[in-house]
Structure 1
Amino acid sequence: MPIERMLFRTEALAIVLASAVAFPTGVKIGLQLAARRVEGVNEDTWWDRHDLMFGHRRHRFRAEDSLPDEVVRFGVRFPDGSKATTVDGRTDSGEWPPPRPEGPILRRSSGSGGSGDDRSVSSNWSLWLWPLPPPEPFEFAVEWPLYDVPLTFTEVDGAAIVAAAGRAQPYWGQTK
C-alpha cells in the first residue's frame, strides 16, 4: 500500500516513507532516499556519502558505544509508549525458532537498488517491523547526524496497515 510521506527534505537530501507491504505478522516498510551534491561538498566527502546511501557500510556497535554520525536511525513509537529502532542493538540468540521478543522490533532488511553518479544518488531501502502496528496512528522517526537530520517524527496511519494485513493472501494454499 502507498504511504508517500516525506520524512525529511533539504537542498541536499530527501527521505520518503514510500510504502508498506503488510503481512499477518508484520510489515515491510519501503523507504526512498535521494541525495544531491551541493556546493561546498568535496569529491571525497561526496563519494563517502554516495556509498552510505546504498547502505554499503554496516556498522556494528555495542549498546555502550555512541553511534557514528554516518549511521541513519529509523524508529517507531506506538501509542502505548512501546518503541523500536534500527539501532536497538538486539542480537540474534542463535536459537531456532527464536524466542518471542519483548516489544516491537524494527530492522533494516534490504536495499533494492538505486542509481547514482557524481552529482546525485537515489536508493530504496526496506525495513521489517514486527509486530503489526496497532490500528491507530503511530509515529515513524528518522535521524541522521551526517546529513544534519534532527530527530524527526511523522505520523503514520496504523489502521490502514492493519487493514492491508487483513487482505494478505498466502502464496500457496495448504497441501493435504
Structure 2
Amino acid sequence: MTFFQDYPIPAPPPRPRTPQFIPPPWVAAPRYELPPVVPVGQFIYKSPTFVMAIEAAKVYSTGCVLEMSWMLRRTDQDDRRWSEMNAVFHRPAPQLRDGAISVDSVLLFGMQFPDGTKATTSSLAMYEQGQGAPLDQEPDGPVFEFRPKGGNGGEDDMSAMGALWLWPLPPAGELRLLAQWTSMGMPESSIVLDGGRLRAAAAAVQKYWPDEEGQK
C-alpha cells in the first residue's frame, strides 16, 4: 500500500461539447467529401526566371479548388535584394508604404466566365482592416479566393504553393483564369479552363458518410 493509494480524486465537472462550426458553402469546400481530381497542367506564365502553373482542380459538389505552384530563380540580385524578394514571395499580400498599398507587390488573380461575369481574389479592399461581408451573408456573385499554402527558398531559387477556391461550380464554357504579379516580373497573363469539364466532374464526388450529418 502506498501513501496516496486512497487519495480522493474529484471527478471533473461535465463539459458541454463545443458546437462544430460548419462554414457556409461559399466559404470553403465541404469537409466530408472526396473530390475527383481533374488534371490541368498549364503554365499561367513562364519566363527564364519565374514560372506559375495550375497543376490540377479538385472538384466538390459546391465548387472547386485549383491547386497551383510558382517558382522564382535567382539571377543577378545581391543578398539584400534577394532577401527583400523572399519576403514578398512567401507573403504575396500588399506591402504597406506610408500607409498606402503597393499594387506592384500584390499577387492578383481573376476569373472571367463565359457570360462576361468577372470575379477577383485581390480587390484591394480585402486587405483593409474591417472590410469584407459577414461569413453568413451569401455573396451576390461568384467567390474566387486565393489561399497561400507555404513554400521554401534558398540561395538559388524560391518555390511556393497555393490554392484558388471557386464557388459555385462554374458553368459550361470557357473560363479565363488571369494572374498578375508585377514585383515578380509577371505581367497580366491567362489560361483557359473548360468549365463544362469541371462541372461534369462533380458527379464523381464521393461522400465520406451517407448520413445527413456527415454530408455537411
Q: Give 1:43-58 correspondences, 5 Å limit.
A: 43-55=79-91, 58=93
Say which of 131, 140, 144 aligns to 1:102.
140
Between the two proteins, the alignment pairs up a number of residues equal to: 168
For the 8 Å contact 1:11–1:38, the answer to whether it is kept is: no
Q: Any idea what SS the aligned residue of 1:100 has?
A: coil
Amino acid in structure 2 at the alignment position of 1:93: A
- Are the structure 2 counterparts of residues 120 and 83 from structure 1 closer, same or farther at C-alpha, using a change threshold of 3 Å? same
Partner of 2:165: 128
Q: Any idea what SS the aligned residue of 2:207 has?
A: coil
- CA apart distance, 1:66: 5.9
Amino acid in structure 1 at the alignment position of 2:120: T
Partner of 1:93: 133
Partner of 1:139: 176
For the 8 Å contact 1:75–1:141, the answer to whether it is kept is: yes
- CA apart distance, 1:166: 1.7
For the 8 Å contact 1:14–1:35, the answer to whether it is kept is: yes
Structure 1 residue runs of 4 or more that deviate by more than 6 Å after TM superposition: none
In structure 1, the gaps of 5 or more residues are none
For the 8 Å contact 1:33–1:53, the answer to whether it is kept is: no
In structure 2, the gaps of 5 or more residues are 1-37
- CA apart distance, 1:51: 2.9
- Counterpart CA distance in 2 for 1:44 and 1:70 is 17
Q: Any idea what SS the aligned residue of 2:133 has?
A: coil
For the 8 Å contact 1:22–1:161, the answer to whether it is kept is: yes
| Per-residue CA distance 1:105-139 (angstroms, 9 max, x = gap) | 1111241x432101101111111111111122210
| Per-residue CA distance 1:22-81 (angstroms, 9 max, x = gap) | 111111111110111112x121221222233322x64389xxx76431111011000111
Q: Give 1:14-29 correspondences, 5 Å limit.
A: 14-29=51-66
Q: Any idea what SS the aligned residue of 1:135 has?
A: coil
Say which of 75, 79, 95 aligns to 2:114.
79
Q: Is 1:8 paired with 2:45?
A: yes
- Are the structure 2 counterparts of residues 135 and 6 from structure 1 closer, same or farther at C-alpha, using a change threshold of 3 Å? same
Amino acid in structure 1 at the alignment position of 2:50: L
Moved more, 117-126 or 146-155: 146-155
Amino acid in structure 1 at the alignment position of 2:110: G
Report % sequence identity: 26
Amino acid in structure 2 at the alignment position of 1:43: D
Q: Is 1:153 paired with 2:185?
A: no
For the 8 Å contact 2:50–2:186, the answer to whether it is kept is: no
What is the TM-score with the length of structure 2 in the denominator? 0.70
Q: Any idea what SS the aligned residue of 1:69 has?
A: helix
- Counterpart CA distance in 2 for 1:154 and 1:93 is 29
Q: Any idea what SS the aligned residue of 1:74 has?
A: strand
- Counterpart CA distance in 2 for 1:60 and 1:172 is 44
Q: Give 1:59-74 correspondences, 5 Å limit.
A: 59=94, 67-74=102-109
